A = this chain, B = another copy of it.
């Protein structure tokens, strides 16, 4: 990974222009072979840039590879039917590069852990990407979300992570809209796009709009690009989803692997106080400094250089701003970052550096990227391993990308028991004017756009999705866990069904703004929040109700089925579009009240936890079937919601 050769040839994913790296390693046979065989009869009326998986030689470390292989339900090419004119053109084949790849890989190689706390915790290797290939003047909305990787719960035993049963139910995932959205392509491309404000929490009652994760579960951050000049248009826009396998992590409430702890301490500027140099951090440590001595030292030096690095906007407190890990090729440290070629300092990294928005970030261009290419649809095994069973297309120097268009009609064909997931949105909307006034003297934003939600169709093959999925898209599904190949029949918003409950739900709290299709402002977790006094939103008992996102637990009396993170593009999601911005809740709540609102205490923290605990002991299905009472308890508040959506 620190191979000079790697740094020489920057590989970023680009749909059409894949660079073949000279020193590229051969792609595992099963992967290469799998590619063609898995898409024999899939129909791609309009083969999008991502429909035909582009395989790149793998470059990731062993750990990364393993983890990668374990992940299935990869990106799905929606193969939505788009007329040529509707396509976005050649300028819309954005290339996305993960920043701090080296750092991410270091973590990934030993099993990244992300602490989740009640008050919310940032991700440490910060999730930051560099985007290229956007239309300079077109506006885009960039988002990210974090979805469950599988339906397993993990435990850290004897220095290794092992599966420890079925996953706990996932809370609906929020789509985090980058605060700068919408912005012009030129702006987005001018510098790496960071998602620092996205916080992770394990507090299911979180009112900040943080991403709620389950401890000891594995997650995968995803990045989305949507060409839209208005957040209100998100639901009908094409989502281009990028997944960087090395950003996978296991959520924990306390670090399990000491090596991870050490890596965090060594790299996170905010944890300087725990570094060996003197103060704090008593015992432990010492031994785990040998993970890969050379690498460690190198990267350490590199990271520390961030201290003296000034290039970032406003590095702030000692540099917490500059993710040290991405500062890998500062001109002054090119010797360590770019070991290849030139002995002349001045000539190093020239090609790579040129055009980079930040010298420090150049490194990512030099580091390899794993390309995960998802095909249309994938069959999901119960758990990890047996990669062949899955339509996982993986390659190095790339990322997986999915494109879906929820605003256009889409059709799909089912072949070989595999079918691309499609969502058809036949709008019949809602015109509303939302005046977003952030609290705290924030900037004002007035949006006036039609918000349309209409009949939608979802066609899919259930097995395609692991039991634990995004949850933020279709957080709950009615029906059995093994539907026929024909999948669920199309659901229309006019015929409310739990199945569609989350499809149209919309919630934006980016920039402290929450909006709902109902014309009111909603406090962040309105659809499952149990916070006293929190207005949870309007629930017109008519068709509009189907637009409301509901927690999957609402339907726990039936087997839960969730989409795999890799299979459900965020575009369908729409569910929770949030952005951390505490402090505005009052205003939002008030605004919400002004609309047609009702409080829905879906369930409380306590009962939820109880259910969760229960689940840990028994397999998921067992829980669903055996302890319905418990879940019923959780879903009590859902009763109301269930009315318009009879358990089918």
Contacts and interface: CB of A to CB of B under 8 A. Distances in A.
A313 B313 contact: yes
From A191, A193, A309, A443, residue with most partner B Cβ within 10 Å: A443
Given A197-B308, A321-B321, A331 B230 contact: no
B320 A314 contact: yes
A333 B317 CA distance: 26
Given A316-B317, A332-B179, A190 B191 contact: yes
A307 B197 CA distance: 9
Quickly give the copy total for this chain: 2
Given A191-B357, A307-B440, A316-B319, 10 more contacts: A179-B310, A194-B310, A197-B315, A301-B443, A304-B440, A307-B512, A316-B321, A317-B320, A332-B443, A332-B513
A279 to B, nearest CB: 13
A285 to B, nearest CB: 15
Interface in A313-350: 313-317, 319-323, 330-333, 335-337, 345-346, 350
Contact of A323 (B304, B308, B313, B320): B313
Given A307-B581, A357-B357, A446-B335, A297 B179 contact: no
A303 to B, nearest CB: 8
A542 to B, nearest CB: 30
Nearest to A581: B308
A580 interface: yes
Interface string A568-590: 00000000000111000000000
A496 interface: no
A354 interface: yes
A192 interface: yes
Interface stretch (A77-85, A180-188, A469-477, A485-493): A180-188
A316 B443 contact: no
Most buried by B among A178, A337, A442: A442
A300 B441 contact: yes
A184 B333 contact: no
A126 interface: yes
A302 B511 CA distance: 12
A336 B187 contact: no
A30 interface: no
A23 to B, nearest CB: 24
A180 B313 contact: no
A32 interface: no
A196 interface: yes
A510 B331 CA distance: 12
A355 to B, nearest CB: 5
B336 A443 contact: yes
5 contacts: A180-B309, A184-B331, A187-B353, A197-B310, A313-B323
Nearest to A445: B332
A358 B187 contact: yes
A438 interface: yes
A43 interface: no
A161 to B, nearest CB: 28
A356 B190 CA distance: 7
B301 A444 contact: yes
A286 interface: no
A269 B332 CA distance: 30
Contacts of A195: 310
Contact of A181 (B178, B313, B331, B438): B331
Interface in A431-445: 438, 440-445
